[in-house]
Amino acid sequence: MDMREAVKKAIHYGTIQSILQYYICPQECEAHCCKHGQIHIFEEEYRTFSQIDPEKAKRVQSEMPASPLYRIEPPCSFLKPHDRCGVYYQRPIVCGLYPFKVNTSGNSIGLQPCPVGFLIIREFALWMMGNVSKTGIPEEEKAKVITEWENTIESYAEELSGFHMKNTLKEIQIPFDELEMFAMYMSSKDLPKINAGVDLG
Ligand code: SF4
Ligand code: SF4
């Protein structure tokens, strides 16, 4: 298995893609993540960029001498007019993942409340609330957990407001086991798959 495949497996990339296929970025967002994000890619991905277009790849720089990580100077030079990715089917893992973001815990994934990220956070919170309401825990405790999730939705809605002006966004951390169950729940809803470009590999 090559390095990219190993990374994808470790971060549950396929599961994340199976969630993202139900979401599409609003046009009004104007590819904010590609224009303003801090995007770090692997050396192998940088080499792919260099093969595709050496001139455009000049805007991708090594983080430090001998670092395996490279940084895309925003706005990404591979972004096409009308805010489409010019290397969609060869895009770096980090791009295929966003608004999910890798953390260092090894057992969870971050999710940022950009316009699409917030919709996923809200759906996840509603699913968690539904789950807790079905458990046999005392009603008082149930109400407390549900209120906590309602507050979570509210706090990420606040984070979303004016998100394009913020340098960093507070992100929710979702444990991988809950992510897997949430993905199963989403597929059980039989929703239309609106993001045809996701890479389910
Ligand atoms: S992933 Fe989020 S920030 Fe990026 S274009 Fe979509 S909605 Fe906008
Ligand atoms: S490679 Fe594509 S998805 Fe990634 S930042 Fe550039 S334009 Fe956006």
pLDDT digits (tens, 9 = 90+) for 168-177: 899 999 999 9
Q: Residue 110 in contact with residue 171, Cβ under 8 Å? A: yes
Give the position of tokens 């609003």.
Answer: 26
pLDDT digits (tens, 9 = 90+) for 13-69: 999 999 999 999 999 999 999 999 989 999 999 999 999 999 999 999 987 777 788
| Among protein residues, the one whose CA lies closest to atom 2 of ligand 2 | 85
Going from the Cα of 65 to the center of ligand 1, the distance in angstroms, rounded, reads 31
Within 8 A by CB and 6+ apart from 183, the residues are 15, 16, 18, 19
Q: Residue 74 in contact with residue 36, Cβ under 8 Å? A: yes
pTM of the model: 0.93
Going from the Cα of 10 to the center of ligand 1, the distance in angstroms, rounded, reads 23
